[in-house]
Amino acid sequence: MSDSLVLTGVKNIKKHTGKEMVRLTPTGGGDVFRLKEWWNQGGSHTTYTDATLFKVTTAAGTVKLAVASNTSTNLRIDVDGNFDFKFYTFDEVHRAALYTDDLQLIEQYVFPAISGGKTMVVTYPGAPSRPSVMPEVEPVPCPVLELAPNGGSNWIGGNVYEVGQTVTAKTAAFVGGKEPVTYQYRFGTRPDSGSPWVPEAWIQTTNLKNSVTYVLTAVGQVNMQSQAVDSCDPAVTVDSITGPRNIVAASAGSGY
């Protein structure tokens, strides 16, 4: 976002490229404002100067730019979105000043006729700062949540998958994720391989390969699902599910 214009005299605007700078007109009539001489700070007497006054608005806010102009002034003014002003073609113009929207002096600009070279920017202790657009803060990516090496859920050897037996599985271990991370597991069963799983309620656990048990109560299949859910927005969920095991009827003499 930027704007550029040429001020000719005290009110004529030429080669205006944008909408950020708008010349203001005094409510009492006329073309110029009577402002205190901003270059005479702290003197015993207050003196005034005629100035062309612009309202300048960008995404950063609104300021006012005063140019100590006369009928012979010819000045090009450029401004960017952070109120960084550049001035060119300094015909019959010696000074300008930047104010807040309520006319508190921010800084003044002394042009080459006085500075003897480049435009000099003069600031004052305790003066307000130019408004500026706050840089957009890039969100910090969440640590990747994933299974730890060799950390997947698994059945232990030696399980007997018969009705009435208690089987043991190991929960999964994970790495990463934005804390706090919830670790949980649940067993699931179904009557056959073509039916949907019916899961038990989640049970919270720790992020270790913990031994967990389940009592088999019906013929069909059983599995165990481990899950980690982190605190990213949106939350990241990683699952690790054991392979299904077939549950058979209890063997003769088992009591089931």
* CATH class of the 146-247 domain in this structure: mainly beta
Q: What is the pLDDT of residues 239-254, one digit of tens each?
A: 999 999 999 999 866 6
Tell me the domain boundaries of the chain. 2-123, 146-247
Matching residue, tokens 């994720």: 177
Matching residue, tokens 């104010």: 99
Beta-carbon count within 10 A of 15 CB: 9
DSSP 146-170: EEPTT---EEPTT---BTT-EEEEE
Beta-carbon count within 10 A of 212 CB: 17
pTM of the model: 0.56
Q: What is the pLDDT of residues 99-113, one digit of tens each?
A: 999 999 999 999 999
Name every residue whose Cβ is closer than 8 Å to that of residue 84 and which is 6 or more positions away in sequence: none
**C-alpha–C-alpha distance, residues 163 and 232, integer Å:** 41
Q: What is the pLDDT of residues 186-245, one digit of tens each?
A: 999 999 999 999 999 999 999 999 999 999 999 999 999 999 999 999 999 999 999 999
